[in-house]
């Protein structure tokens, strides 16, 4: 191993690999390695300007035993930035220390001629580069596992586990799965896998293993602090923080699959207005267009979008419209976009990448020309009419088959960069919208590290209407918040398989709604069964032929449910000053709105094991009802005094209590000063 110092970076070279470690923010280091002659220069998620820091770099030797019982002076180096120190031994094996205590170490089982703990005949290296012919490398990076460690964050996965220790996670974007590869460890460090390649991470009991399917370099960032709150602060300092959420988006968003005409939209808005329920946003969902990729209203059913928007604005309602990144071959834009190279490319076979309701190819938002082209269409056909926001659906992108090795972008092979697709897609809208006097708030089904800075409200995708899905969404919302993305929501009641005539679904919908009052964005949506509403026409294209689901509005299922929903709506309205406060926290320091219990109570060991209750900001403890026919549940109250907000009863903390949960509300406790 040959060590040197280059500016404020420690450089280590061995057997064709160049390793670079440098300060990147307070108490943080960025670690890169490559088998190529030079680094790419890609910063990926590390977009924010950081102060240039002068670390302590030491290059020398350490005494190691030899096979004959003697010692030899092996090359050894370290770099220290504040509380975080990294060491590199003669084999290139890395270890990290916070305040002198080891928190992370690479896993190495490769014999190298010396007698050290890392010298084993298994021949498993800490960093394994598997070359592709004349191309990139498949990279595997291994770390030792620490017993008792808990791991949080990593984005959104459809599972009930909040602690990711023991989980194997695909690093890939899919409908309802959002890969944001930042983890928070209970040992006091945060770790960003700064690589948008499709791959996998295994948080095993015996080792941790990060895999990139194709890449040109290893790139990760690590920070060390005492508390999860401080780790999120450091992480969002280098990847960006969410803007301040608009006040006029903190209430209720009304949405369904799907309002088929402008008159349907207006009739729903007028009824809310008549009932004196001022909703914030109404959403016009998919296939209001002619074909995918035309990015405009079907004039037959939307004859005067400007007049529609003006009337909605007069009622104080903002308007969001759904756009997809898929372009049908029948679209008026397809041929031009294909010829100009603005669409995804396939490496083999047909050009098709998507086949829902048409033979389609997805746009390539990693190409700046594509972003400009799509925005121009959407500006002329939506934004200039006064449409306020965009629902950037299918933003993974959704694919007919997730054969990542068959797709290529302007940025490179999909296997190498596919996970950053939703971030670039959101920028196609956020960046030009930011140049106006309007604060962009766009809804997306996917994101990646740093997406929070682009005005993205993520939602949990097309999840089923089931109690299991409700349970999974609680874990998903907490996990994505711990991955740095605070703006998040779900389809209240789930998206699919919810039959409005089923008593179990009605109960599920009520419990989901009561929980959604205490989520960052509250949005009614769903593809409600039974599918008995006939299409408007039999054309093969346009906004009339596709089915729509049953109504989702607050009054749709009768007076009993409406009364419960109206009470939840009133509670949400009363929380608006508090919502502004916790949105401001997210903007200023990266704190999520939905917080695992340990985020507010890191010294309470019990809080690190709780996944079915959480803090909504610093003051409200929320205990969702996640099983049918449940009228009470156990709630753990940390030390202090707690007031149940519905009954006014005061409970001393430091214990578990049985909390009432009638159908009218879920248990919510407010921390007393």
With 0-12 / 13-18 / 19 or more C-beta atoms within 10 angstroms meaning exposed / middle / buried, residue 66 is exposed
Kindly state the average pLDDT of the residues 576-584. Answer: 98
Residue 438 confidence (pLDDT) above 90:
no
pLDDT at 64: 84
DSSP annotation of 178 reads E
Tens digits of residue pLDDT in 465-504: 999 999 999 999 999 999 999 999 999 999 999 999 999 9
Tokens of residue 357, six digits: 């309701």
pLDDT at 484: 98
Ordered by start, the domain boundaries in the chain are 2-239, 247-592, 596-671
Catalytic site residue from 27, 230, 462, 644: 462
Is 3.40.50.2020 the CATH classification of the domain at 2-239? no
pLDDT at 271: 98
pLDDT tier for residue 658 given thresholds of 50, 70 and 90: very high
For the sheet with 2-6, list strands across it.
Answer: 2-6, 9-14, 17-23, 28-34, 217-224, 189-193, 178-185, 151-156
**CATH no., domain 247-592:** 3.20.20.80
Whether the CB-CB separation of 222 and 210 falls below 8 Å is answered with: no
Tens digits of residue pLDDT in 137-149: 999 999 999 999 9
Among residues 225, 274, 280, the alpha carbon closest in space to that of 251 is found at: 280
Residue 569 confidence (pLDDT) above 70:
yes
pLDDT at 117: 56
Tens digits of residue pLDDT in 245-288: 999 999 999 999 999 999 999 999 999 999 999 999 999 999 99
Spatial neighbors of 613 by CB under 8 A, at least 6 apart, are 597, 621, 622, 623, 624, 635, 636
Whether the CB-CB separation of 599 and 615 falls below 8 Å is answered with: yes
Residue 115 confidence (pLDDT) above 80:
no
Share of the chain above pLDDT 70, in %: 98
Spatial neighbors of 31 by CB under 8 A, at least 6 apart, are 19, 20, 21, 86, 94, 218, 219, 220, 221, 222
Place of tokens 């449940």: 630
Tokens of residue 176, six digits: 């309802």
Q: Is 462 a catalytic residue?
A: yes
pTM above 0.85, yes or no: yes
Catalytic site residue from 209, 364, 396, 514: 396
Residue 52 confidence (pLDDT) above 70:
yes
pLDDT at 119: 56
The whole-angstrom separation of Cα 341 and Cα 288 is 27
Residue 449 confidence (pLDDT) above 80:
yes
pLDDT at 118: 54
pLDDT at 541: 73
Catalytic site residue from 393, 416, 553, 612: 393
Tens digits of residue pLDDT in 369-414: 999 999 999 999 999 999 999 999 999 999 999 999 999 999 999 9
Average model confidence (pLDDT) across the chain: 96
Is 3.40.50.1860 the CATH classification of the domain at 596-671? no
* Partners of residue 635 on adjacent β-strands: 657
Lowest-pLDDT choice from 114-118, 167-171, 456-460 = 114-118
Are domains 247-592 and 596-671 of this chain identical in fold? no
pLDDT at 632: 98
Long-range contacts (CB closer than 8 Å, 24 or more residues apart) made by 454-457: 454/423, 454/426, 454/427, 454/430, 455/242, 455/243, 455/426, 455/430, 456/426, 456/430, 456/485, 456/487, 457/487, 457/488, 457/489, 457/520, 457/521
Whether the CB-CB separation of 229 and 513 falls below 8 Å is answered with: no
Residue 120 confidence (pLDDT) above 70:
no
Tens digits of residue pLDDT in 522-554: 999 999 999 999 999 987 777 788 889 999 999
Task: State the DSSP H helix or E strand holding residue 20, giving kind and residue range, or none if neither.
Answer: strand 17-23
Whether the CB-CB separation of 549 and 526 falls below 8 Å is answered with: yes
Whether the CB-CB separation of 292 and 327 falls below 8 Å is answered with: yes
Tens digits of residue pLDDT in 593-606: 999 999 999 999 99
């Amino acid at each position: 191993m040959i060590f040197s110092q280059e500016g404020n970076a420690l450089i280590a070279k061995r057997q064709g690999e160049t390793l670079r470690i440098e300060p990147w923010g307070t108490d943080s280091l960025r670690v890169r390695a490559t088998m190529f002659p030079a680094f790419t220069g890609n910063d990926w998620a590390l977009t924010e300007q950081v102060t240039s820091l002068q670390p302590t770099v030491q290059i020398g030797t350490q005494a190691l035993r030899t096979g004959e019982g003697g010692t030899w002076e092996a090359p050894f180096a370290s770099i220290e930035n504040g509380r975080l120190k990294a060491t590199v031994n003669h084999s290139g094996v890395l270890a990290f220390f916070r305040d002198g205590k080891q928190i992370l170490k690479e896993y190495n089982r490769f014999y190298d001629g010396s007698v050290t703990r890392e010298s084993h005949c298994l021949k498993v290296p800490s960093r394994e580069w598997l070359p592709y012919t004349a191309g990139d490398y498949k990279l595997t990076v291994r770390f030792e596992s620490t017993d008792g460690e808990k791991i949080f964050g990593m984005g959104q996965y459809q599972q009930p586990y909040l602690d990711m220790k023991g989980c194997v996670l695909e690093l890939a974007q899919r409908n309802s799965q959002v890969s944001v590869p930042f983890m928070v460890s209970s040992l006091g460090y945060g770790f960003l896998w700064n690589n948008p390649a499709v791959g996998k991470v295994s948080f095993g009991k015996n080792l941790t293993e990060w895999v990139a399917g194709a890449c040109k370099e290893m790139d990760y960032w690590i920070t060390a602090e005492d508390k999860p709150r401080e780790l999120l602060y450091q992480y969002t300092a280098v990847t960006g923080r969410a803007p301040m959420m608009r006040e006029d988006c903190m209430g209720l968003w009304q949405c369904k699959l799907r309002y088929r005409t402008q008159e349907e939209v207006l009739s729903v808005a007028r009824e809310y207005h008549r009932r004196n329920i001022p909703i914030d946003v109404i959403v016009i969902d998919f296939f209001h267009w002619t074909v995918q990729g035309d990015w405009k209203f079907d004039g037959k059913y939307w004859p005067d979008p400007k007049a529609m928007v003006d009337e909605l604005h007069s009622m104080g309602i903002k308007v969001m419209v759904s756009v997809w990144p898929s372009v049908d071959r029948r679209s008026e834009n397809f041929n031009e976009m294909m010829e100009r190279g603005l669409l995804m490319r396939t490496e083999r076979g047909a050009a098709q990448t998507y086949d829902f309701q048409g033979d389609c190819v997805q746009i390539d938002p990693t190409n700046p020309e594509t972003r400009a082209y799509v925005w121009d269409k959407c500006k002329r056909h939506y934004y200039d009419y006064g449409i306020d926001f965009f629902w950037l659906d299918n933003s993974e992108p959704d694919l007919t088959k997730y054969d990542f090795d068959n797709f290529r972008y302007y940025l490179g092979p999909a296997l190498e960069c596919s996970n950053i697709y939703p971030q670039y897609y959101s920028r196609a809208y956020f960046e030009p919208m930011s140049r106006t006097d309007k604060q962009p708030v766009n809804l997306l089904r996917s994101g990646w590290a740093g997406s929070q800075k682009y005005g993205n409200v993520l939602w949990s995708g097309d999840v089923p209407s089931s109690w299991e899905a409700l349970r999974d969404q609680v874990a998903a919302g907490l996990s994505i918040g711990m991955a740095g993305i605070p703006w998040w929501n779900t389809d209240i009641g789930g998206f699919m398989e919810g039959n409005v005539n089923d008593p179990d679904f009605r109960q599920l919908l009520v419990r989901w709604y009561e929980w959604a009052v205490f989520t960052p964005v509250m949005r009614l949506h769903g593809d409600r069964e039974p599918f008995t509403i006939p299409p408007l026409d039999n054309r093969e294209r346009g906004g009339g032929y596709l089915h729509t689901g049953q109504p989702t509005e607050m009054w749709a299922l009768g007076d009993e449910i409406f009364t419960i929903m109206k009470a939840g709506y009133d509670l949400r309205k009363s929380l608006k000053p508090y919502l502004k406060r916790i949105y401001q926290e997210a903007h200023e320091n990266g704190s999520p709105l939905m917080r695992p219990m340990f985020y507010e109570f890191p010294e309470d060991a019990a809080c690190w094991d709780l996944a079915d209750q959480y803090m909504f900001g610093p003051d409200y403890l929320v205990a969702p009802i996640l099983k049918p026919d449940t009228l009470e549940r156990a709630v753990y109250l940390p030390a202090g005094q707690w007031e149940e907000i519905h009954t006014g009863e005061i409970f001393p903390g430091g214990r578990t209590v049985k909390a009432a949960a009638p159908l009218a509300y879920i248990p919510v406790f407010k921390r007393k000063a």
